[in-house]
Structure 1
Amino acid sequence: MTTATADLYDERGDELDSLALQLHDIGGRVAFDGPIRTVRCHRDNALVKAVLATPGVGAVLVIDGGGSLESALVGDLIAASAVENGWAGIIVHGAIRDRVAIGELDLGVKALGSNPRKSAKTGVGEVDVPVVIAGVAFVPHKHVWADADGVLVER
C-alpha cells in the first residue's frame, strides 16, 4: 500500500466508506490493502481455515464473526497459512489468538481483540457473501485499505 488511508480519503472520500469501529493492529504488517473476500461465521473457524489455505493473490479476508470475543477465529497456524498462500491481510470482526506469534508474521491483521479459547470447527457459515460491519458493507471483489488510522472500503 503506497497511499495512507487519510490521504486516500482526502482524494476519494465520496467513493469510500470509513469503518468507525476501532480495531487492534495485530499482524506484523500494519498497512495493507487488496480485493475483499469474506467469511461470515460465529465461533466456528473451519471456513476461515479453508479459505486462507487457498491462493490469496493479495486479497484481504474480512471475517464477520458477529463481534464475538468468546472464542478466536484466527490463530498463528491459520495466519501462517495465509502468509504462505499470498494473502495481504485479515480483518476480524471478532477475536484472534496467538497475538504475539501473529505479530511476527508479514501479514496485516486487524481484530476486535484476542481470546485463547479455540472455536468450533464444524464449517458452519458462508463464504464470499456481502457482510456489513458497523454499518459498512464489505462486498467481495471490492477493494479495502487498512493502516494505523483505520479501514476504508470501496463503495
Structure 2
Amino acid sequence: MISTADLYDERGEELDSVALQFLDLGGRESFSGPIRTIVCHRDNGLVKQTLNSPGDGAVLVVDGGGSLESALMGDLIAAAAVENGWAGVVILGAVRDRTALAALDLGVKALGSNPRKSSKDGVGEVDVPVTIGEVRLVPGRMMWADPDGILVER
C-alpha cells in the first residue's frame, strides 16, 4: 500500500486529510477501503451487527461523538470484523481490549480506550455522511489510513 504522505503528494487536490489525531490500536497499521459509517452514542449494537456482516474490504467509520465514556468495540467484535473481511475500523470514541486488538489483522484507529461496555440497543444510523473535524466522510468513497493519518476522497 502506498503511504498516505506519498498519496497526498500525488493526489492532494482530490483528497481531504483528517487533522484529528487517532491512536493506532490494531495489528494492521496501514489499511484502505470504501467507507461505511455508523453514528451512535455509547451503544455498539449497530457496530456489532455491521461488523458481523461481509465487509468486502471496507473501512467502518463509527462516529461516537468523541465520547470516551464507554467502548464501542472490543476484541470479540473486532475478531468478527477480521473473519468477515473488513479492512479497518475508525472510531471517534473509545475501544477496549487493546492488547487483543493489537494482535488482530485489522486496522483500528480510535481516540482512546475504556474497559466499560456500551449499551447494545442498536440505536443510531448506518451509512449516512459523517464529519470528523472539518472532513466529510461519505459512504462509498475511499479512505486510506496509516501511522501518518487518514485521507479520504472528496
Same fold (TM over 0.5): yes
Cα distance in structure 2, aligned partners of 1:58 and 1:42: 25
Counterpart for residue 112 of structure 2:
113
How many residue pairs were aligned? 154
> RMSD of aligned C-alpha atoms?
0.4
Counterpart for residue 128 of structure 1:
127
Deviations 1:95-146 (A, max 9, x none): 0000000000000000000000000111110000000011111100000000
Give 1:28-67 correspondences, 5 Å limit.
28-67=27-66
Alignment of 1:77 onto 2:76 = yes
Identical amino acids, percent of aligned pairs: 71
Cα distance in structure 2, aligned partners of 1:118 and 1:130: 26
Deviations 1:65-116 (A, max 9, x none): 0000000000000000000000000000000000000000000000000000
The amino acid that maps onto 1:133 is I
The amino acid that maps onto 1:56 is G
Counterpart for residue 152 of structure 2:
153
The amino acid that maps onto 1:5 is T
Cα distance in structure 1, aligned partners of 2:132 and 2:151: 12
Shift of 1:25: 0.3
Is the partner of 2:29 in helix, strand or coil? coil
The amino acid that maps onto 2:131 is V
The amino acid that maps onto 2:29 is V
Cα distance in structure 2, aligned partners of 1:34 and 1:54: 16
Alignment of 1:68 onto 2:67 = yes
Cα distance in structure 2, aligned partners of 1:135 and 1:52: 26
The amino acid that maps onto 1:80 is A
Gaps of 5+ in 2: none
Cα distance in structure 2, aligned partners of 1:153 and 1:85: 23
TM-score (normalizing by structure 2): 0.99
Cα distance in structure 2, aligned partners of 1:14 and 1:66: 28
Counterpart for residue 97 of structure 2:
98
